Chains A and B, each alone.
Chain A
Amino acid sequence: MRIYADNAATTKMSRTAVEAMLPYLSQIYGNPSSLHSAGQEAAQALFAARQTVAEQLGCEARELTFTSGGSEADNMALVSAAMLGARKGKKHIISTAFEHHAVLHTLARLEKQGFEVTLLDVHENGLVTAQDVEQALRPDTCLVSVMYANNEIGTIQPIAQIGALCRERGVLFHTDAVQAAGHLPINVAEQNIDLLSLSAHKFHGPKGVGALYARRGIALTNLIEGGAQERGKRAGTENIPGIVSMAAALQEACAGMEKNAAYVTALRDRLIEGLSKIPHGALNGDRTHRLPGNVSFCFEGIEGESLLLLLDDKGICASSGSACTSGSLDPSHVLLAIGRPHEVAHGSLRLTLCEENTAEEVDEIIRAVTETVEYLRGFSPVWRDLQSGKRDYILK
């Protein structure tokens, strides 16, 4: 038996999403740019899908650009806003230290091109505040980009307040809503969002498809040049099966949001409670301002990759922010941003649940994690030093 608890990495496609896609693989396969009836059937599907996604976000269909996923949407949002800013001589961008790399690496590239980037520190609870943003605003700030919910520790940022502040100051506001879409309420008008990125496979849709919302009047910069698809802003024949399926998945997720959130939050809390009994461990991020399915812990004296591999042997799929799982020397920038020291960040474990998980699975996870942490500590020289008092505990 396998327990899948890595839904922040990706989700299983829902039956609705799969069924929505199927006709577009072999029956309605025309190119929406073709004038013949086969093409126009596909164009009709694209039109309807755009309408559906727009309804879920509270925007107009023409404000949406379909992309290859969240990363492309993030890249396009930031580059577009930066270009608009540069035209007015505004070349300062505010973001946070714990954004996804799709945002951070794009910002690093913009920095090389002469933009100045302020990355806000994140508070220990994994939150930034509108006040933090306000203090960093400058007359030449052209863009603020703050994620809706963090992908590793699940903390939910006060984006409506940040959006209101930016609107008042006339600064564009982008939010990477990849982890939030389909899980948390989104209304771009009410939340004063100018640009928003989402990815289908995080809400039981297919991989390789996402969307960028850009408020009417915000001119986008092409990342891909070519044909006139997506109002000339994103060339390439549209991924019709993916887009249709994403629309169906988002509609389903939004319709079931309240019910799913209540169910998954209860599972999450059960898991947090169970794992909190492991000594010298700690939950990462705020206890309540977090995604319904996100549980992130650090355990002192062990290393995350070995924990993951042993959990996998027990049929549990999880994730870690340890350096060894990332292929780099440093542990997760998110855990470092909330102030976890390196040695603690190496011992991190992320479990992300969805509505398909059960309380029995959660109990099994608690048993397996407790047992495995204890086993690994049993031959960890760090744990020995902590126990003998040679080294001080960081997590009390």
Chain B
Amino acid sequence: MALYSETVMDHFRNPRNVGVIENADGVGEVGNAKCGDIMKIYLKIENDTIADVKFETFGCGSAIASSSMATEMIKGKPVSEAMKLTNKAVAEALDGLPAHKLHCSVLAEEAIKAALQDYYEKNGIPYDKTQFPDCAHCGHCEK
């Protein structure tokens, strides 16, 4: 049995939305190099919609695939909908992740939320801070 689903391998081999958006409306970076994964998400937001999204990831196969899938899931969607993206939805869209890789989908959700928070902050848009848990909460980096 392979470690990863076909969908994970497809997104890992052919990651969608790789790259950088210059002058992005929101940028979020989560994880740390010590733990072995960092995700950075760049958002272009027009008319309250995710007009474009790019990512950069340092990490394992599932980290790259999770970033790719998460960006696909929010591209073209209203900001309010992007805010609702869950790690569970990302993992499901990837046809599952091995148990010890689930934190990769958590990082993807958090990277997107961090980018949205950055967008709200930059534009002085009021928002509910409780919607943005600190990335450290998952405990992955705790030892």
Residues of A within 8 A of B (CB): 301-306, 309-310, 313, 322-325, 327, 329-331, 341-343, 346, 379-384
Contact = CB atoms under 8 A, between A and B. Distances in A.
Contact of A306 (B55, B61, B100, B140): B61
Interface stretch (B13-21, B78-86, B119-127, B128-136): B13-21
Nearest to A341: B34
B59 A306 contact: yes
Nearest to B101: A324
A382 B56 CA distance: 9
Closest 10 CB pairs of A and B: A324-B60, A343-B33, A305-B60, A346-B36, A381-B40, A380-B58, A382-B58, A342-B34, A381-B56, A379-B18
Interface of B: 9, 12-13, 15, 18-20, 29, 33-40, 55-64, 100-101, 140, 143
B92 to A, nearest CB: 21
Nearest to B41: A381
Give the interface SS of chain A, mostly helix, strand, loop or mixed: helix
B36 A383 contact: no
Given A342-B36, A380-B38, 18 more contacts: A301-B58, A303-B36, A303-B58, A303-B63, A305-B61, A306-B12, A309-B9, A309-B61, A323-B36, A324-B101, A330-B143, A380-B57, A381-B38, A381-B39, A381-B56, A383-B58, A384-B20, A384-B56
Contacts of A310: 13
A307 B64 CA distance: 12
Given A303-B58, A380-B56, A313 B13 contact: yes
Contacts of B100: 327
A322 B19 contact: no
Contact of A324 (B13, B36, B55, B56): B36
Contacts of A327: 100
Contacts of A325: 60
A382 B9 CA distance: 23
B94 to A, nearest CB: 15
A380 B56 CA distance: 5
B62 to A, nearest CB: 8
Given A303-B59, A327-B100, A379 B15 contact: yes
Given A313-B13, A342-B33, A343-B33, A329 B60 contact: no
Contacts of A382: 33, 38, 58
A333 to B, nearest CB: 13
Given A301-B58, A303-B58, A306-B61, A329 B140 contact: yes
